[in-house]
Amino acid sequence: MTILKAFEDPKVFGWYFKRRHTWENWRVFLKAVYGIRMTAKEKEIFKKYTGRETIPESGFSEFYAIVGRRGGKSTIVSLVAVYEAIFGNWEKYLAPGERASIFIMATAKQQAKIVFGYCRAFLKNYEHMIVKEGAESISLNNRIDLIIQAANFRGLRGFATAAVILDELAFFRSEEYANPAEEIVNALIPSFLPGAKLIGISTPYGKFGYLFEMYKEHFASDASDVLIWKAPTLAMNPAVNRAAMRRARRKDPTAAKTEYEAEFREDLSTYLSNDEVEQLTDHEVSIRPPEEGKKYFAFVDVSGGKDDSLAMAIAHLEGQEVWVDYIYEEIPPYRVKDTVQHCCEMMKHYGIWEVVGDRYGGEFSSQIFEEHGIQYTVSELDKNHIYLEFQTIANLRRVRLLNNRRLRYQLVILERKAGRMGRDTVQHPPGAHDDVANVVAGAVVTAYKYLVSHPSEEELRARVPRLVHKGESITYRSAWQRILDQAEKEMQERLARRKKDEVAE
């Protein structure tokens, strides 16, 4: 039985699609995936949403649906998953006693349960095939298991895989890996049975990450064996609530364009790419012990101990570069005072008696550090400005990072968003954390600011000419200080103008 017959037959899955005319473009999608002949009109629909001129007769084993919110993508991939489970004839590839798995993966199991629920609904006429059912898996009597899995490549080995659904792929997150989707795909491919399906669905997000890279490489490519289908919500679901769409457009036109028009966001860009972070990382070094004669700088991000980590980083100057020496993170729950005591002991080990941090806790932060003999100084820059400064230092290749997996991940997921009046912001995605990235950036910026304000005599000679003022020779260092004073004055003027503009807005 073809998937279209299953789609239309009320005794199979047709009972679900009562308003079948609203699913016409999805029927073309299914025809493309399974290599079913199309009409002339359907070919035009295919070309419109794939950018292709030719239609492969053999169909696709790997395909991605980049479709606007409420476009029906979860329903269709659930249909594909259950069709493969019932009619895929996977038993011929299995060894005695072996079972085939169809994975439904999302950033969290709760998200994956949405697709899982659709799959359970499509089994309405096949209750007799279910031999075991749990909250996160369904086992059928034809040796197929439908399994919910969080987006983590661990635990995927050893399975015989018939299909994988990667739900909301643009939002895959991992606390360990910069590109978890790629890690998952690489872990899954060796387990694929012949003809196994790799299915990605998502609304788009920024122009970065695995989904966007697949889109760039395979959309509108007739030579590619990967199908990219990109379509707005209304094209795939004409019955969608249009009033809700209009309200969303009025509230946030940029977000609505992404959510309903399926356009990747123009206002978001990567902060630092994975390749850039890799180039700045000393992969053989996870900690640098203190050395005599080096000046060290520390930055701390103090948390209340319930939701965010308390983190600290230490760095030093090495010529014209800043080298990160030590990274510490305490993941909640923890006792703040005990964690601060450990941080202070490590700072003293590096000869540090002053730490820079954010404004969290105000006098509380100062007090708990001063109890251990460490002066706590509030950073002149907020987190956003620290990130922007750090990005500049990184682009100049003036920083060496430690081999720290969470640091690499947190730097790569940061997003730089173009703001109004040229005020860019750097932030982590919703639900993610950036405590380690924050303290490393803070330590590097603190050290680099010291480097700029305390140049050597050789550097001064290279940077500043000797000046004559009122008949007196002005030293290189005095001239440099005047330049710094002028730069500080200009910065304060810019900040004042910015605050005035924000009040006006």
* pLDDT tens per residue across span 1-34: 899 999 999 999 999 998 888 999 999 999 999 9
Q: What is the DSSP letter of 94?
A: P
Say what the pLDDT of residue 265 is. 81
Q: How many CB atoms lie within 10 A of CB 448?
A: 23
Say what the pLDDT of residue 468 is. 47
Phi-psi region of 83 (alpha: psi -120 to 50; beta: other; left: phi over 0): alpha
Strands (E), 307-458: 310-318, 321-330, 354-357, 375-378, 399-400, 415-417, 425-427
**C-alpha angle 431/434/439, rounded to 5°?**
160
Angle between helices 40-50 and 24-34 (to 10 degrees): 80
Say what the pLDDT of residue 152 is. 62
pLDDT band for 422, please (50, 70, 90 cuts). low
pLDDT band for 250, please (50, 70, 90 cuts). confident
Structural element, H or E, at residue 390: helix 383-395
Digit-coded pLDDT (tens) for 259-301: 899 998 876 677 888 888 999 999 999 999 999 989 999 999 8
pLDDT band for 167, please (50, 70, 90 cuts). confident
Say what the pLDDT of residue 33 is. 94
Q: What is the mean pLDDT of the chain?
A: 84
Digit-coded pLDDT (tens) for 178-195: 556 777 788 778 888 999
Digit-coded pLDDT (tens) for 43-94: 999 999 999 999 988 899 999 999 999 999 999 999 999 999 999 999 999 9
Say what the pLDDT of residue 444 is. 95
Residue 208 token pair: 């970065």
Those residues with Cβ within 8 angstroms of residue 113's Cβ, 6 or more apart along the chain or in another chain: 136, 148
Say what the pLDDT of residue 440 is. 96
Does the structure show a pLDDT above 90 at 306? no
In Å, how far are 24, 86, 112, 147 from 136, measured between CA atoms? 31, 18, 9, 6
Residue 439 token pair: 């303290």
For residues 417 and 372, the answer to whether their CB atoms sit within 8 Å is: no
For residues 479 and 350, the answer to whether their CB atoms sit within 8 Å is: no
Say what the pLDDT of residue 465 is. 52
Cα–Cα distance for residue pair 464/452, rounded to 1 Å: 13
Q: Between 505 and 264, whose confidence is greater? A: 264
Among 86-95, 148-157, 311-320, 377-386, the range scoring the smallest mean pLDDT is 148-157
Say what the pLDDT of residue 219 is. 96
